[in-house]
Structure 1
Amino acid sequence: MIIDTLTVPDMPWINEYSWSSRTANAQYASSGALIVEVAQRQAGRPIVLQDDMLTRATVNALVAHAEATPGEFDITLGDGRSFTVMWDFNAGPISAEPLQNETDPDNTSLLMGVTLRFMTI
């Protein structure tokens, strides 16, 4: 899987089927009739990738990328699908927890529950 210029292990897309490209706005007219407007969303699909464990070096590289890249970039998933995205700064772009409570972790230390959050542009 490639995130902009970073190659990382393939990660499952955990919210792939929890989004619709359609949006609707429903309200009642003064007569009591229901008025529904349906539209096609142009962008903003959330992409949340999650992995059990990644090295601290990999997570640090992703955090550095999120801090340095406020705009759009491309990601290519393990199955070859590509998306133009940006980090989802509203939800927090990256989260992870240390596997062990180490006093002096190094780049080979493992982080668990690594979650990457993007939105399509």
Structure 2
Amino acid sequence: MRTNAQTKLTNIVTGNVIILSDSLYPDAEHDWSAIVSSTKYALDGTMIVEQSVRQAGRPYVMQAPDGHGVLSRATVNALKSECDKLGATFWLDYLADGVVKRVKVMFDTTQEAINATPVKGSTSPKLTDYYNVTLKFLEIPST
């Protein structure tokens, strides 16, 4: 696991920091556009195009290839605890393009926000056991 405290999740209110693997990266980061368009036709057949800039809502699905973005069960438990806090917002810092990027996010609880599967099966997991994880966030305005 590559961890050097550059990829992390920080609760904005409490200041709690959870160190993540630097191998976690936004999946399909280029599949979202800040521009949204709507088209319709006028009675004379003219196409009307309206465009606007989205204010928020970009999905951040943080994952890594199996075995590369593993987190300990203790870290997964800490993430679950933060996810279960109503209205919690976070700074997500992650490595991309050779720099650390920072976005303000909240867990995407419209779906399964945390998916964690054990690297090795166990009938009695330990806090040091490793899990492959997928974390789902939504970007929110950083005002």
TM-score greater than 0.5 by the shorter chain? yes
Residue of structure 2 in register with 1:62 after alignment: 79
Q: For 2:84, what is the secondary structure of its paired residue?
A: helix
Identity among equivalent positions (%) equals 35
1:15 paired to 2:28: yes
Residue of structure 2 in register with 1:111 after alignment: 131
Matches within 5 A, 1:76-91: 76-78=93-95, 79-91=99-111
AA at the equivalent of 1:119: L
Deviates more, 1:88-97 or 1:63-72: 63-72
Unaligned runs of 5+ in 2: 1-6, 11-16
Q: For 2:33, what is the secondary structure of its paired residue?
A: coil
Over aligned residue pairs, what C-alpha RMSD do you find? 1.5
Unaligned runs of 5+ in 1: none
Paired residue for 1:93, among 113, 122, 127? Answer: 113
Q: How many residues align?
A: 120
Q: For 2:32, what is the secondary structure of its paired residue?
A: coil
Using the size of structure 2 for normalisation, the TM-score is: 0.76
Aligned-pair CA distance for 1:71: 3.1
Q: For 1:96, what is the secondary structure of its paired residue?
A: strand
Aligned-pair CA distance for 1:69: 4.9
Aligned-pair CA distance for 1:109: 1.4
